[in-house]
Amino acid sequence: MDFSKGFNVQLATLFGIGKIPGGGTWASLIVLFIALYEQNAETASFLAFFTLIIGPGAYRKLTALVESEDPKEYVLDEVIGMGIAISGVYIFTSIFDQLSFNLIESLSATSELFILTFIVFRFFDISKIGPVGWVERNPKEKAYNRVIGDDIMAALLSIIVVIIFLSVNLWILQ
């Protein structure tokens, strides 16, 4: 790790993960692996909240070095989005504990839920479909708000889609 450009730049790239191909997916996978290991969303929630606080400063330091308002190296937005998505789905299913499924016997229902949330989140974040793209392309918003806004929107849509999937599984398929 090269700290010559400053700690905030290293933080913005999640200590170099943003510099490798598919950096956003790798950053999201880190949040997923933490949630899978813990079998809850406490640390994912904390990471999302903490990153919302430290993210703007790291973003400013990184964008001062690159020629882009949305540098691909900046992956803290994926940490925020994935943390929100996992937390939202986990909270909802904790309240309505009958909303779960167990498709693969070797995985817990919570693990399956987190993996499904990851897949749906990455789909929305990569495709920029519908509201995700609208948020990212909104010229009335500041650059940083667009950068994290599309990931927050992808997280909210992921929560909705996973809850619909769980509801269909409970009420129609069982």
State the residue for tokens 């909240």: 49
For the stretch 18-57, pLDDT in tens is: 999 999 999 999 999 999 999 999 999 999 999 999 999 9
The pLDDT tens digits for 134-172 are 999 999 999 999 999 999 999 999 999 999 998 887 777
> What burial class does residue 12 get, using C-beta atoms within 10 Å of its C-beta: 0-12 exposed, 13-18 middle, 19+ buried?
buried
Give the per-residue pLDDT at 99.
65
* pLDDT surpasses 90 at 6: no
State the DSSP string of 33-96. Answer: HHHHHHTSSHHHHHHHHHHHHHHHHHHHHHHTTSS-SS-TT--HHHHHHHHHHHHHHHHHHHHS
- pLDDT for res 135: 97
State the pLDDT at residue 63.
Answer: 94
**pLDDT at residue 3, as a whole number:** 60
**Residue 154: partners with Cβ closer than 8 Å, 6 or more residues away:** 81, 85, 121, 124, 125, 132
Q: Where does residue 41 fall: left (phi above 0), alpha (psi -120 to 50 degrees), or beta otherwise?
A: alpha
Distance CA 84, CA 44 (A): 8
For 67-95, the pLDDT digits (tens) are 899 999 999 999 999 999 999 999 998 88
Cα separation, 36 vs 112, whole angstroms: 9
pLDDT at 5: 74
Q: What is the pLDDT of residue 94?
A: 87
Least confident of 6-10, 62-66, 68-72, 166-170: 166-170
Q: Which residues contact 170 (CB under 8 A, 6 or more apart)?
A: 98, 99, 101
Q: Which residues contact 25 (CB under 8 A, 6 or more apart)?
A: 78, 122
CA separation, residue 172 to residues 162, 163, 165, 166, 168 (Å) = 15, 14, 10, 10, 5
